[in-house]
């Protein structure tokens, strides 16, 4: 829209709300409820978010180029700015206030999107090196070959489960994994030399909004 000031578009407010909701849900996905044996048993979802925006629409004039070497008087171009209304803010004669109400509602994935289930496992390769395997089971007749799985170490969860935080050099060799034709991908896990035995490393994988967490206990023997 040419008559809306850049960065003040009404859509920006709705996009920011949706982005905040998405980040909140992603954070919930990182902290699933574990059962007694350390397996994921429940993940919380935000079902809906109701919002109310009170915005002030103000007409602002900005200089426009003269188009003749600057000899003619500069023309002014009117633009509309959308700004949040503060409690103590007074409305001027060149502005108007509007209240926008709405709701974001969680809906099931569309039937065209593959429903997937992730599985994580760890194979010990050396005293301080292991291999993290991600296997994906998709809906019948659908392929996830070439899809990217995001694999990370959840350091906050790991710190809560251990007496000390994980060492910075305890890391994954690769964070973005491409699934092969068998819907499998792997990444190396390097355990720092200073990492004490018995430390729990929380691994988290994400694909198409589906999240799986695995708790791996480091043992040298």
Residues 59 and 140 in one domain: no
Predicted pLDDT of residue 203: 94
Of 198, 129, 194, the closest CA to residue 167 belongs to 194
Query: DSSP of 21-79, one letter per residue?
Result: HHHHHHHHHTSPEE-TTS-EEE-----EEEEEEEEEEEEEEEEE--SSTT-SPPEEEEE
- Please tell me whether residues 122 and 213 are part of one structural domain: yes
- Contact between 47 and 87 (Cβ < 8 Å): no
Q: How many separate domains does the chain show? A: 2
**Tell me, what's the pLDDT at 76?**
54
Segments forming the whole domain that contains residue 176: 116-217
- Are the beta carbons of 187 and 173 closer than 8 angstroms? yes
The whole-angstrom separation of Cα 173 and Cα 129 is: 10
CA distance 119 to 200: 18
**CA–CA distance, 147 with 145 (Å, rounded to integer):** 6
**Token code pair at residue 77:** 């171009």
What tens-digit pLDDT sequence spans the chain (221 residues)?
333 333 456 677 777 778 888 888 877 777 766 665 565 556 677 788 887 777 776 766 555 555 555 555 555 555 556 566 555 555 454 566 777 778 877 665 554 444 678 899 999 999 999 999 999 988 777 778 898 999 999 999 999 999 899 999 999 999 999 999 999 999 999 999 999 999 999 999 998 878 889 999 999 86
Whether residue 110 lies inside any domain: the answer is no
Shared-domain flag, residues 127 and 81: no
């Amino acid at each position: 829209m040419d008559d809306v000031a850049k960065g003040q578009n009404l859509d920006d407010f709705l996009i920011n709300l949706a982005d905040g909701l998405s980040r909140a849900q992603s954070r919930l996905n990182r902290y699933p409820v574990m059962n007694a044996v350390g397996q994921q048993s429940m993940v919380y979802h935000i079902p809906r978010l109701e919002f109310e925006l009170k915005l002030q629409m103000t007409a602002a004039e900005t200089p426009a180029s003269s188009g003749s070497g600057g000899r003619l008087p500069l023309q002014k171009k009117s633009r509309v700015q959308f700004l949040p209304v503060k409690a103590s803010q007074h409305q001027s004669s060149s502005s108007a206030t509007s209240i926008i109400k709405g709701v974001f509602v969680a809906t099931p994935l569309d039937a065209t999107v593959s429903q997937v289930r992730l599985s994580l496992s760890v194979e010990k390769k050396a005293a301080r090196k292991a291999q993290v395997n991600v296997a994906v089971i998709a809906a019948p007749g659908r392929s996830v070959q070439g899809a990217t799985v995001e694999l990370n170490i959840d350091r906050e969860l790991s710190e809560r489960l251990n007496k000390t935080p994980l060492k910075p050099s305890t890391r994954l060799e690769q964070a973005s994994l491409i699934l092969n034709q068998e819907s499998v991908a792997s990444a190396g896990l390097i355990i720092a030399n200073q990492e004490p035995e018995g430390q729990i490393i929380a691994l988290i994988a994400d694909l198409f909004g589906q999240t799986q967490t695995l708790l791996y206990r480091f043992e040298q023997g």
